[in-house]
Amino acid sequence: MQQHLQWWHDLAHVSLHGCAESSPVVLVTVVRADGSTPREVGATMLLGLRDDQVYQSDTIGGGHLEFQAFDIAQAMLKGTDKRTLFVERFNLSARLGQCCGGVMWLLFEKLQPREHASMLASAYAAWQSGQPIERQVHENGHLSWQVTPTQVPSTAIFETGETGWRWQQCVQPYAMKVLLFGAGHVGEAIVRCLQPIGVQVTWVDSRDNIFPPDLLKQVNCVCTDVPEAEIARFDPQGAILILTHDHQQDLQLCMEALKSSQSRFAYVGMIGSKSKRAIFEKRMQARGYEQAQLQRLVCPIGITGISSKQPAIIAVSVVAELLQIFDQKK
């Protein structure tokens, strides 16, 4: 399952870049869910104040539950609710009239990110390098964010005892990684489509100043004259998308991605028609590539049945195909 982790990015950003007297934030986390519920255990949203207006990252499922949780968090942020750490039970049917009918327990945690800047910075840097992070919150107010000693499953624990309740959550590195070549209209549309669903994107182009400024802080953007070198250092479990403005560069990237006799990557896709694929196959066969290698290339890309050439629609089709590929690998 793909994690929705904008709340984690925003928490790290506020702790690292907010001013010393910056406003607190409230994390609202689903710590227990019984029956039919709109979100799973571990789903988290962050709320904070900006210019006296409440902003929100991610969701715990929407509907009446989220509206009520939003109101509680807003009161905590503005000081009309003096509580700073508590768990509250919500009966979705009896209390809120939601059709799900289950029961959810929400953890409300008000904290000042700048007070935990060092711990959060260390945890976030480790997470960005591919290490899972364990988040612990205790009823007595103790909290920690630290690297887990070993690769652990993304399970969450909510337990109660003589010393009160304890919440433990593992924030896993992104399971889905995409190396995308080409910062044209389709490339940008795909990146924007991937951003909200929890994907680590490396975006490569040989042209200067081609990446949209608003995406520079959210995506690993690489400007290089040797884009094929990025393939050698990319995660072998990741997906490669080739969408450059240059057919010769497309060919070089295809050859680099497919040169191993064994399947190195979860997906290698190139934008283009069936005729482009046929031309590329002939050129690669002339260079010694075998049929088994060529069969690993996906071209055209995207799920079948969608013929539109609009960048946004192509992006939806391609991202849907990637989600299918990664879902099958679970």
Give 232-274 as a DSSP string: HTS-TTSEEEE--S-HHHHHHHHHHHH-SSS--SSEEEE-S-H
pTM: 0.74
If DSSP codes are grouped into helix, strand and coil, which group holds residue 129? coil
The CATH number for 177-328, chosen from 2.60.40.3080, 3.40.50.720, 3.40.50.300, 3.20.20.330, is: 3.40.50.720
Q: Note whether 135 and 66 are within 8 A (CB).
A: no
Q: What is the pLDDT of residue 83?
A: 95
Name residue 37's amino acid. Answer: T
Q: Could you tell me where the DSSP H helices lie in the chain?
A: 6-17, 63-78, 117-128, 185-194, 229-232, 247-258, 274-286, 291-294, 311-328
Q: What is the pLDDT of residue 238?
A: 92
Measure the CA–CA gap between 74 and 80, rounded to whole angstroms.
Answer: 9
Q: What is the pLDDT of residue 20?
A: 46
Q: What is the pLDDT of residue 221?
A: 94
Q: What is the pLDDT of residue 3?
A: 58
Domain with CATH 3.40.50.720 in the chain: 177-328
Q: What is the pLDDT of residue 153?
A: 58
* Positions of the chain with pLDDT under 50: 1, 20-21
Q: What is the pLDDT of residue 6?
A: 82
CA nearest 204: which of 172, 255, 246, 174? 246
Measure the CA–CA gap between 280 and 282, rounded to whole angstroms.
Answer: 5
The token duo for 180 is: 């995308």
Q: What is the pLDDT of residue 73?
A: 97
